[in-house]
Amino acid sequence: MPTLLEMTGVRRVFHPRGEPEVEVLGGIDLAVQDGESVAIVGPSGSGKSTLLNLMGGLDRPTSGCVRLAGDDLARLGDADLARLRNRQIGFVFQLHHLLPQCTAMENVLVPTLAAPDRGARPRQHARARELLERVGLGHRLDAFPATLSGGERQRVAVARSLVNRPRLLLADEPTGALDVESARELTALLVELNRSEAVALVVVTHSRELAAAMDRRLRLESGLLSPADEAQP
C-alpha cells in the first residue's frame, strides 16, 4: 500500500513567553500507509495531541517534514493547508464539538460548507444521511445535540469527520469522555469504518481495548516514538 502520511525528523519546541524552551517532540519518524490503523499511546503530557495536530496540519513543526499523499505541508500556504485539511483529513476529539443549535444532519454537513457547490448538495445530503445511518443514528437525523447521549454525540462527530471522504482520520482520545459501553461501541464503529471507508486511522488513546483493535501501536515518550508493548498501552 502506498504511504499516505510521512513524518521525518519532526521536532516541536514550545517557547512560552518568559519560560524556558520545551522540546515536546524530539525527532519523529513515522509512515502511515493508506487504510492502516495506528494507536499512539503514552503518558499524559508526552506530546500525543501535539503529534496529532502536526499530522493534521493544525500546527507546524519547528523542524522536520510532514508529507500527506506526497505533499510537503510546509510548502502549503494557510489557505491551501485549510483546503487539504478539509478534503483529506477528518478529526475527532475527546469532546464532540457539535454545534448546539444545529441538528445531527446539519452538524454532519458542516465540513461540506467550506466549498459551497449547489450541484453537489443532493450528493452531500445523501452521504450525510448514509453516514448517520451507519453510525446507528438514522432515526435521529433531526435531533439536536442536547437531546442525544454522550455516545450518540460522539457518533455524530464521527459521521461529520467522514462526510468529505477523507483519506486520513485523526482521533484524539475519542472514547476518553465516554462510559464503558459507549466506548466499546465507538471502538467497534471506528474499526468498521476504517475498513469499509478505506480511511487510514491514527488514534491517540488511553483505552487498552481501542489500542488493541488497531493494526499497530506506538508509544510516545520523551519526545520519541517506539513500538508499544501490547501488554501495557
Ligand X SMILES: Nc1ncnc2c1ncn2[C@@H]1O[C@H](COP(=O)(O)OP(=O)(O)O)[C@@H](O)[C@H]1O
Which one of Mg ion, ligand X, none interacts with residue 45, CB within 5 to 8 A by kind? ligand X
Nearer to Mg ion, 30 or 95 (CB): 95
Q: Give the chain's largest Cα–Cα span.
A: 53
Q: How far is the CB of 93 from ligand X (least distance, A)?
A: 11
Q: How far apart are alpha carbons 9 and 119 in whole angstroms?
A: 43
Closer residue to ligand X, CB minimum distance, 45 or 100: 45
> What is the rounded CA–CA span in Å between residue 136 and residue 155?
8
> How many residues line the site for Mg ion (CB under 5 A)?
1
State the nearest-atom distance from the C-beta of 172 to Mg ion, in Å: 6
Please state the closest distance from residue 15 (CB atom) to Mg ion, in A: 20
Nearest to ligand X of 201, 220 (CB atom): 220
When CB distances are held under 5 to 8 angstroms depending on the partner's kind, the choice from ligand X, Mg ion, none that residue 85 binds is: none
**Alpha carbon of 125 to those of 8, 128, 135, 139: distances in Å?**
39, 5, 15, 15
The interface partner of residue 44, options being ligand X, Mg ion, none and the CB cut-off 5 to 8 Å by kind, is ligand X
Q: DSSP labels for 100-130? A: TTS-HHHHHHGGGGGS--GGGHHHHHHHHHH
- Angle subtended at Cα 65 by Cα 60 and Cα 71, rounded to the nearest 5 degrees: 95
Residue 226: exposed, middle, or buried by beta-carbon count in 10 A (0-12, 13-18, 19+)? exposed
49 part of the interface to Mg ion, by CB under 5 A: yes
Distance of closest approach, residue 144 Cβ to ligand X, in angstroms: 30
Stretch of 44-52, 66-74, 118-126, 187-195 lying at the interface with Mg ion (CB under 5 A) = 44-52
CA distance 21 to 29: 22
Binding site for ligand X (CB under 6 A): 14, 16, 24, 42, 44-50
